[in-house]
């Protein structure tokens, strides 16, 4: 091989390598979201991120379990759908090496009913639905306690279960259901504690339809999660910057009118 041919070959390989690098960078990052507000908000984040050279592919889920499983398995690069207590519980229970890299939004949980207009109207023995996952179930019970319907064992905190109820003056029957199923339970139950994203997906307006809701302040601000090994990668910083931009903040405030609150 003469020098000219060698030079041409070397140049061709360099161009191919460079092209491969560009292609690798152009590969979109996969973000897991649940349907409703998380998906809607990330459509806006996607636009902001792409202007900064970060391409995003959204993968939508209908439950709370699969997005973390998919992230841990490497099928996703990040997810955006859960609050920190839920992630902490999943890490503890399943051994996932997942971490939070920043705050997203807050969805104050509400209590909804098609049978009563206030919690005071609940009769003795009324059936009240709560999420059946550990952290959201505890969250619902704390809301019921804040509204004076039950009293929980001291120290039960965020992990409270129906077994931690020590006072129940109205003898409420707590019905544990999958969080996504709770909006459909309203025809069968007297009331249900429903996460805002599922309430909105079911056509409920948290500002008008909830007969009670938790304070916007608290430990339940949602987060963006990634695998521990990825937390310091440049694309994570770009993703967080896009999400926490003024453009996305204004979209959340205009679109959801207080039912979803920026947590950053």
Q: Where are the domains of the chain?
A: 6-107+219-262, 110-213
Class of domain 6-107+219-262: alpha beta
Q: Tell me, which fold does domain 110-213 have in CATH?
A: D-Maltodextrin-Binding Protein; domain 2 (3.40.190)
Domains 6-107+219-262 and 110-213 share a fold: yes
The percentage of the chain sitting over the pLDDT mark of 70, rounded to a whole number, equals: 89
Enumerate residue ranges in the chain where pLDDT < 70: 1-26, 216-217
pLDDT on residue 12: 47
Q: 59 with 30: CB under 8 angstroms? A: yes
Neighbours of 15 (CB within 10 A): 10
Dihedrals phi, psi of 111, to nearest 5 degrees: -110, 130
First to last CA, the chain: 61
Distance CA 226, CA 149 (A): 38
pTM, whole model, 2 decimals? 0.70
């Amino acid at each position: 091989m003469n020098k000219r041919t060698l030079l041409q070959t070397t140049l061709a390989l360099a161009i191919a390598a460079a092209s491969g690098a560009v292609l690798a960078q152009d590969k979109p990052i996969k973000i897991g979201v649940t349907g409703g507000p998380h998906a809607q908000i990330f459509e806006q984040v996607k636009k902001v991120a792409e202007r900064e050279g970060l391409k995003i592919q959204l993968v939508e889920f209908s439950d709370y379990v699969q997005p973390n499983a998919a992230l841990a398995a490497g099928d996703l690069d990040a997810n955006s759908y859960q609050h920190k207590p839920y992630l902490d519980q999943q890490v503890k229970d399943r051994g996932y090496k997942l971490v939070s890299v920043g705050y997203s939004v807050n969805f104050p949980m509400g209590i909804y009913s098609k049978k009563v207009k206030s919690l005071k109207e609940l009769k003795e023995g009324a059936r009240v639905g709560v999420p059946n996952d550990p952290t959201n179930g505890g969250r619902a019970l704390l809301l019921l306690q804040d509204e004076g319907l039950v009293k929980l064992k001291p120290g039960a905190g965020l992990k409270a279960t129906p077994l931690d109820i020590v006072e129940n003056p109205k003898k409420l029957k707590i019905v544990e259901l999958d969080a996504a199923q709770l909006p459909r339970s309203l025809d069968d139950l007297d009331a249900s504690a429903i996460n805002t994203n599922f309430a909105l997906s079911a056509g409920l307006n948290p500002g008008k339809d909830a007969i009670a809701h938790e304070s916007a302040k608290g430990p339940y601000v949602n987060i963006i999660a990634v695998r521990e090994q990825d937390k310091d990668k440049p694309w994570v910083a770009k993703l967080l910057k896009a999400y926490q931009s003024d453009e996305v903040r204004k979209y959340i405030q205009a679109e959801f009118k207080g039912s979803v609150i920026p947590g950053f």
